[in-house]
C-alpha cells in the first residue's frame, strides 16, 4: 500500500470499526481507533487485535493501550474511517452525525480519504461533503477524498461503494481492500446512494408483505401453511438489522413523494409486528392452558451493544414492554457474554435464567438464539421443559 494512505484512523469504537482495524492489522498497518464518547485515540497493534476478538473483550480486559489525543489521531490519518455508534432517534441522527463530523474535520489534514460507513439517504453524502468543505476550506476530490461504504450490520462488508471522484487511484483501492471484505465495484456517489436505498426498500417490502399476509391468517390456515414456510424463516433480528436505514431514508423524503408513502407504510406495518407477537404469545399461553401469574417469558436475543446501529436494543425494550400485557414476569438473556465465557472456560454460571417454580415460555429472536436455546435446554437443563417460540414469520412453537 502507498505510504501516503497510512497511518489509518477509525473514528468510532464500534464492532464494525473494530473489524476494520482487525482486517488492517493483517497488513501490519499502523491503526488507531478513537472512542467517540471519550474523544481519545487508542493504538491497536496486531498482537492486541489477535488477543481480543471484539470491543467487549478489549474493554473487559482493560488492556494497556497506547493512548493519544483525538487531535493527533485525526491529523496524522491518511485514511479515516467514520464508524461511530448511533444511539439516538433517527429524527435526531442527522444532527448528531453532523456534530461527530465537526469533531473530526477540524483536525483533518490535506490529502486525507474519509470513508463514511453509516447509511445515508439520497443526497446525504453530498451534504456531508459540503459540511466538510465549509469547515475546512478544502475541496472535495482535490484536497480530500470521500467514500461512501455502508456496512452490513456487525461486519466490515460494504453493500455498495460510492466515490466523490470518478477516477479512484490505486493506493485508495488498496487501502479499501485492506480494510473491507467482499469489496464491490466503486460507483459514483449518488448512484451508490440510490442502489443502497433500493436494496433496503426491497428487503423491507418483502418482509412487510409476509407480515401483513400472516396477520390475516387464522389458526387453521397458519397450520396448513407450516410446511411451505419452513425453509424461509424471517426472525425479528433480520427485521431490525436495517431498521435505522429505512428510517433515515424515510426522513429525507418529502411529503407527497410516492416513495415516501411506500417507506412510511413499511414503518407502520413494522410497528404492528409487536401487536402480532403479543397476540400470538397470548394465544399460545391460552392454548397450552397456562396461567399468566404462573408463567415466565424469557426473551433471548444476543444483541451486540457495540454495533453502529442501536435499533436492536430499543426494539428489545419495546418488545418487553408490550409482552407485559401477557404476563408480569418477563426476563431477557443475551447469549454473547455466555458464549464468550464458554470459549474462555471461565467460571460463569451456565444456562438460561429459567424459573424453577413457574412455566417457562422462551421467545428466541434469531436463528442462532434458537439453536442455543434448543441445545441449552436439552443438554444443560433437561429437568425443565419450556415452550420455545421462534420470533419469526410466522410465529412457531417448538416443544
Cβ atoms of residues 297 and 331 within 8 Å: yes
pLDDT in tens, the chain (399 residues): 445 578 999 999 999 999 999 999 888 889 999 999 999 999 999 999 989 999 998 988 777 788 999 999 999 999 999 999 998 766 677 788 889 999 999 999 999 999 999 999 889 999 999 999 999 999 999 999 999 999 999 999 999 999 999 888 899 999 999 999 999 999 999 999 999 999 999 999 999 988 888 888 777 776 676 666 555 688 999 999 999 999 999 988 888 888 888 899 999 988 888 888 999 999 999 999 999 999 999 999 999 999 999 999 999 999 999 999 999 999 999 988 766 554 544 444 556 888 889 999 999 999 999 988 887 776 666 677 899 999 988 888 987
Overall fold of domain 3-184: Rossmann fold (3.40.50)
What residue ranges of the chain are covered by domains with CATH 3.40.50.720? 3-184
Distance CA 301, CA 316 (A): 8
DSSP conformation letters of 311-339: HHHHHHHHHHHHHTTT-SEEEEE-HHHHH
Distance CA 164, CA 125 (A): 9
What residue ranges of the chain are covered by domains with CATH 3.40.50.1400? 216-398
Cβ atoms of residues 294 and 285 within 8 Å: no
SS3 label, residue 123: coil
SS3 label, residue 41: strand
Name which CATH class applies to 216-398: alpha beta
Amino acid at each position: 500500500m502507498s505510504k501516503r494512505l497510512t497511518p489509518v484512523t477509525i473514528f468510532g469504537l464500534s464492532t464494525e470499526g473494530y473489524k476494520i482495524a482487525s482486517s488492517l492489522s493483517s497488513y501490519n498497518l499502523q491503526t488507531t481507533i478513537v472512542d467517540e464518547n471519550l474523544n481519545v485515540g487508542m493504538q491497536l497493534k496486531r498482537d492486541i487485535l489477535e488477543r481480543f476478538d471484539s470491543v467487549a473483550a478489549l474493554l473487559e480486559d482493560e488492556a494497556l493501550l497506547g493512548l493519544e489525543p483525538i487531535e493527533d489521531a485525526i491529523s496524522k490519518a491518511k485514511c479515516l474511517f467514520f464508524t461511530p455508534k448511533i444511539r439516538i432517534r433517527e429524527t435526531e441522527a442527522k444532527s448528531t452525525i453532523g456534530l461527530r463530523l465537526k469533531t473530526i474535520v477540524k483536525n483533518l489534514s490535506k490529502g486525507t480519504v474519509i470513508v463514511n460507513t453509516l447509511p445515508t439517504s439520497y443526497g446525504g453524502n453530498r451534504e456531508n461533503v459540503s459540511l466538510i468543505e465549509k469547515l475546512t476550506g478544502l475541496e472535495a476530490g482535490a484536497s480530500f477524498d470521500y467514500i461512501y461504504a455502508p456496512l452490513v450490520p456487525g461486519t466490515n462488508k460494504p453493500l455498495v461503494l460510492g466515490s466523490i471522484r470518478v477516477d479512484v487511484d490505486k493506493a485508495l483501492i488498496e487501502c479499501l481492500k485492506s480494510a473491507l471484505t467482499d469489496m464491490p465495484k466503486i460507483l459514483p456517489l449518488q448512484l451508490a446512494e440510490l442502489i443502497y436505498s433500493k436494496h433496503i426498500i426491497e428487503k423491507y417490502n418483502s418482509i412487510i408483505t409476509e407480515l401483513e399476509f400472516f396477520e390475516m391468517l387464522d389458526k387453521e390456515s397458519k397450520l396448513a401453511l407450516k410446511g411451505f414456510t419452513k425453509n424461509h424463516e424471517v426472525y425479528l433480528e433480520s427485521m431490525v438489522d436495517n431498521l435505522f436505514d429505512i428510517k433515515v431514508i424515510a426522513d429525507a423524503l418529502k411529503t407527497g413523494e410516492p416513495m415516501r408513502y411506500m417507506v412510511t407504510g413499511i414503518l407502520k406495518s413494522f410497528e404492528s409486528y409487536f401487536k402480532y407477537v403479543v397476540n400470538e404469545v397470548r394465544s399460545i399461553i391460552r392454548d397450552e392452558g397456562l396461567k399468566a401469574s404462573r408463567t415466565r417469558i424469557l426473551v433471548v436475543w444476543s444483541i451486540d451493544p457495540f454495533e453502529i446501529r442501536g435499533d436492536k436494543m430499543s426494539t428489545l425494550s419495546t418488545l418487553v414492554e408490550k409482552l407485559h400485557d401477557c404476563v408480569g414476569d418477563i426476563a431477557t438473556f443475551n447469549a454473547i457474554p455466555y458464549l464468550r465465557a464458554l470459549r474462555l472456560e471461565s467460571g460463569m454460571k451456565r444456562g438460561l435464567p429459567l424459573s424453577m417454580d413457574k412455566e417457562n415460555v422462551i421467545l428466541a429472536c434469531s436463528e442462532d438464539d434458537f439453536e442455543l436455546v434448543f441445545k441449552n435446554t436439552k443438554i444443560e437443563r433437561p429437568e425443565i421443559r419450556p415452550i420455545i417460540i421462534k420470533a419469526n414469520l410466522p410465529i412457531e412453537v417448538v416443544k
